Amino acid sequence: MSIAVFDIDGVVADVRHRLHHLERRPKDWIAFFAEAADDEPLSEGLALVADLAERHEIAWLTGRPAWIRDITAAWLRRYGLPAAQLHMRGDTDRRPARTYKLGALERMGEVAVFIDDDERVVAAAKGAGFPAVLADWVPRGDALRDAQDRIGRT
């Protein structure tokens, strides 16, 4: 079965309540990620997952670091989302999101569609031949942009 690949932050999870940790100096990345358990779900994203799950396996491809895997898996289950395929960034991986995500997509098998809210990630995926779609239901500010592209840099 082909796979529908979803980003998490800005697609199904609303991170806006914890962005303030990145809008201060120095940025508090630990607090930013640790509060992921409290994200509200995004109804547009949940509806799209439900729709695509009728025809495809669902896999997650997130720039979240692996140390919040348990928090992330529990959050997905809380909102009735499949959590079996959860691809996370290694804790020491400092590559740009588009580099990390493109490498992961290339190892995933038959990708039917890939949904992400970062236009640079979507452009990179399209450039490599993947059917990528931009999730545009959350307005993206600079802090969110930075959070999704880089981890732990200040």
Q: If binding is defined by CB under 5 A, does position 7 make contact with Mg ion?
A: yes
Q: Which is nearer to Mg ion, 25 or 147 (CB)?
A: 147
DSSP string, 74-124: HHHHHTT---SSEEEE-TT--S-HHHHHHHHHHTSS-EEEEEES-HHHHHH
| Shortest Å, Cβ 133 to Mg ion | 13
Residues 130-149 that bind Mg ion (CB under 5 A): 148
The closest residue (CB) to Mg ion is 10
- DSSP code for 59: E
- Residue of 117, 125, 147, 149 interacting with Mg ion (CB under 5 A): 117
- DSSP code for 11: T
CA-derived radius of gyration, the chain: 14
Q: How distant, in Å, are the alpha carbons of 47, 51, 60, 118 from that of 65?
A: 25, 27, 13, 17
Give the total of residues touching Mg ion (CB under 5 A): 5
Q: Which is nearer to Mg ion, 9 or 39 (CB)?
A: 9
Q: Which is nearer to Mg ion, 9 or 14 (CB)?
A: 9
Count CA within 13 A, CB hemisphere, residue 70: 2
Q: Which is nearer to Mg ion, 72 or 148 (CB)?
A: 148
Q: If binding is defined by CB under 5 A, does position 14 make contact with Mg ion?
A: no
Q: Footprint of Mg ion on this chain (CB under 5 A)?
A: 7, 9-10, 117, 148
